[in-house]
Amino acid sequence: MSSSSYKLFVVAGTGPLGSAIATELHKLGATVVFFTRGGSSNTPEGIPSKVVDYSNVDALAEALKGVHVVVSTVSGGGFKTQPILADAAKKAGVKLFVPSEFGARPRNVPDDNILGYKETFLRHLKSLGLPYTIYDTGLFADIPLSVIPSILDLTKKKFTIVGKGETKISLASRPDIGHFVAYSLTHLPPSQLEGAHYNIVGSRLTFREMLAVWEKKYGGPFEVVSRDRDAVLKAVEASGQGEAAELDYVLCLFERGQGNLEDNSSSLIPGWKPETYEEAVDKYYPAAA
């Protein structure tokens, strides 16, 4: 590990992304601890975990004493814990906070928007005066879209898109995201991390180009069903909150071009090339029948 001033890390969230980041930090010689609510068996071997109460700022602050960096990988309902975690980090003297902004990140949305909680939290970080680093990744390349059959049904060879599917989307696998986050946090000086925004990009493809990759792996052609973007947006506004509505809204953002990260920060790691989308599909998608 380099001479970075950050040595002790807490990763909040033990899902695949949190595990990938913690594993890479551990490989680079950092001291890493997982924060969990308890009952998790997903932590990688060799990395200790600590059960915490995310509703208790004082107890969290005590648990964070001496920690240099907090990396939040919470998702879903876990987003509600981030403000408390940030308050505790500030109280404990944590030097840097990495919010769970991985994946699709909205830009300039109002507070009452379905994804407005992300912008609200970033304003909270700024109000605390807590230094932070944002990592933007686009779509996770290693998650098969077939886990959502309403989007990609491999059995029926059917793909349902919003709009024309001709807008570029950035993609990166979670193992690559973990490597970049860990490397940057352990090799870059605070001046290059505080307030910084890094884009991690393995590929830039349209949904139509992604479809060509699936057809190559599974044999084509696939049936393509297109949903009208404006109609989808109206349905999202009418339905309010919920995972299905949030997913549809993200797909609309992609169709608008908000999933295309213009800059790629991967060159910060000398000689490193993140895996392409085709490589990720070959590695992580179900085997062809």
Q: Which pairing describes strands 69-72 and 8-12: parallel, antiparallel, or unpaired?
A: parallel
Domains 8-140+171-201+261-274 and 145-168+204-256 share a fold: no
Cα dihedral 243, 108, 73, 95 in deg (nearest 10):
-160
**Quick one: pLDDT at residue 202?**
96
Q: What is the pLDDT of residues 136-181, one digit of tens each?
A: 999 999 999 999 999 999 999 999 999 999 999 999 999 999 999 9
Q: Which regions in the chain score pLDDT beneath 50? A: 1
CA distance 143 to 150: 15
**Quick one: pLDDT at residue 245?**
86
**Quick one: pLDDT at residue 39?**
67
Reported pTM: 0.93
For the chain, which residues make up each domain, given as ranges? Answer: 8-140+171-201+261-274, 145-168+204-256
**Quick one: pLDDT at residue 20?**
96
CA distance 1 to 8: 12
Classify domain 8-140+171-201+261-274 at the CATH superfamily level: NAD(P)-binding Rossmann-like Domain (3.40.50.720)
Classify domain 145-168+204-256 at the CATH superfamily level: UDP-galactose 4-epimerase, domain 1 (3.90.25.10)
End-to-end CA distance of the chain: 44
